[in-house]
Structure 1
Amino acid sequence: MKKPSYKCSKCCDTGWILIPQEKSQPLAVGCECRDVEKVKNEWKYSGINVEMTTHTFSNFQVWNEASQRAKDTATAYYTDFSEVRKERRNSILLCGQVGSGKTHLSVALGLNFLKQKIKVVYMPYRDAITKIKQNMLDHEYYTRTISKYQLCEVLLIDDLFKGKINESDINIVFEIINYRYLNFLPIIVSSEFSIERLLNFDEAVGSRIYEMSKDYVVEIEKDMRNNYRLK
């Protein structure tokens, strides 16, 4: 007879480990795999896939002055977060050169906040906007999705304004950003565009993001030497 295969050999996928007691029934103790599954479920709810969980501060490659500045700003934001999270300037913006590690640092921040039980929602801009627009006639879906991005403790917007932008895109982003701006809810934003370009897309959106992130802004110069993928 084939021996059963378990994901966790310690508890045989029950989530509990029985510890024998001399004069009583065995003591049931929660297996560590329960915590692992809980964390994975939090990642899944947040939109951060398992592959992205390798993005940490410790394995971020610093290769020049721009990457050092980005890492220093991200770590400073993480350190200061508990003090600034309810302030007007409670957010961070990493923008500029493609391939400069903006997503890596943004996700590293998100994962660290999740470990602190701070609810982070990951919004991959292009995919999220496309799905929202495809379901705009579904009022329940639209409201539920927009609310998720508006109400979460921390919103991580990755690759803001990636792809072709139209008025509908701007309106959706404004609805999300303006709510968070008015309610002092932090955002983590990465974008390949400069601050000037973000303002040109829409001044109302760009100026709100800039004001919220003013103390933690890194704009990486458009220069192929700042693209780690080309090293």
Structure 2
Amino acid sequence: MKQTSYKCDKCCDTGWILIKQENRQPLAVACECRKIEKLKSEWKYSGINVEQSKLTFASFVVWNKASQRMKDTAGAYCTDFDEIRDKRRNSILLCGQVGSGKTHSSIAIALNFLKQHIKVVYMPYRDVITKIKQNMIDEEYYTRTISKYQLCEVLLIDDLFKGKINETDVNIMFEIINYRYLNFLPIIVSTEFSIDRLLAFDEGVASRVYEMSKDYVVEIEKDIRNNYRLK
């Protein structure tokens, strides 16, 4: 007789484990695999892939004062979030030197939120902007996509203004960020540009991001010694 193979031998893929109780009906307890699958589903909804799910606070390496400041600020933001989420300054901005851990810290925040059942949507700036511009004549697609980033509980914008920037790029980002600004919806932003450079790109977008993130801003000095990839 062929033996049945299960992904999870503990629950035989049912998602539940029966615990025997003396003189009582068995108690059904959710299997660990059920929790893992639920978390993977939340990652998929958020746009975070399995590789990115390894970018946790635990795996973040502190190698200098700048990286310590980034990890401490990101951790403080997570700790304070319930208290600040409905306030004007409810967001976080990680900016400056390439390779300083901005994306890692941003995703670590997102993963922390997902474990608390706070829904986060990941927006890799360059990929999303390119796709939106390629489909701008499709009004239904445009509205649906913009609304996804306007309305989500928390929005993570990774590598804001990466690549060549034109007026259309700025207008799309203004549409998303201004909606979230007006409705007190939090954003997590990473960018390789300084605050001054962001303001030079577009003062309307940058000033809103800065005001929302004012209490949780980390600007890493442009210095090759702050690039972990070159260690």
Q: Which runs of 5+ in 2 are unaligned?
A: none
- Name the residue aligned to 2:185: 185
Count of residue correspondences: 231
CA RMSD after TM alignment:
1.6
- Name the residue aligned to 1:194: 194
- Name the residue aligned to 2:33: 33
Distance in 2, matches of 1:78 and 1:28, equals 33
The verdict on how the C-alpha distance between 1:219 and 1:145 changes in structure 2, with shifts beyond 3 A counting, is same
The verdict on how the C-alpha distance between 1:165 and 1:20 changes in structure 2, with shifts beyond 3 A counting, is same
- Name the residue aligned to 1:12: 12
- Name the residue aligned to 2:63: 63
The verdict on how the C-alpha distance between 1:60 and 1:24 changes in structure 2, with shifts beyond 3 A counting, is closer
TM-score for the superposition, normalised by structure 2: 0.94
Distance in 1, matches of 2:81 and 2:29, equals 35
Letter in 1 for 2:59: N
- Name the residue aligned to 1:110: 110
Distance in 1, matches of 2:217 and 2:43, equals 26
- Bigger drift between 18-27 and 127-136 goes to 18-27
- Name the residue aligned to 2:153: 153
- Name the residue aligned to 1:44: 44
Distance in 1, matches of 2:97 and 2:24, equals 64
- Name the residue aligned to 2:54: 54
Shift of 1:50: 1.1
SS, match of residue 222 in structure 2:
coil
Shift of 1:31: 2.3
Shift of 1:59: 2.1
The verdict on how the C-alpha distance between 1:32 and 1:167 changes in structure 2, with shifts beyond 3 A counting, is same
Distance in 2, matches of 1:24 and 1:68, equals 53
Letter in 1 for 2:169: D
Distance in 2, matches of 1:148 and 1:212, equals 20
- Name the residue aligned to 2:226: 226
Distance in 2, matches of 1:25 and 1:78, equals 41
CA offsets per residue over residues 23-75 of structure 1, 9 Å max, x none? Answer: 67755443221111111100100011111111121221111111111111111
CA offsets per residue over residues 154-190 of structure 1, 9 Å max, x none? Answer: 1000000111111111111000000000001110000
- Name the residue aligned to 1:163: 163
- Name the residue aligned to 1:133: 133
Distance in 2, matches of 1:188 and 1:221, equals 19
Distance in 1, matches of 2:158 and 2:148, equals 16
Q: Which runs of 5+ in 1 are unaligned?
A: none
Distance in 2, matches of 1:32 and 1:66, equals 37
Shift of 1:212: 0.7
Distance in 1, matches of 2:20 and 2:75, equals 45
Letter in 2 for 1:40: K
> Residues 68-83 of structure 1: matches in 2 within 5 Å?
68-83=68-83
SS, match of residue 123 in structure 1:
strand
Distance in 2, matches of 1:52 and 1:156, equals 13
- Name the residue aligned to 1:210: 210
CA offsets per residue over residues 180-213 of structure 1, 9 Å max, x none? Answer: 0000111000000111111111110011001111
- Name the residue aligned to 1:100: 100
- Name the residue aligned to 1:86: 86
The verdict on how the C-alpha distance between 1:69 and 1:21 changes in structure 2, with shifts beyond 3 A counting, is closer
Distance in 2, matches of 1:90 and 1:27, equals 42
Shift of 1:14: 2.2
SS, match of residue 51 in structure 2:
helix
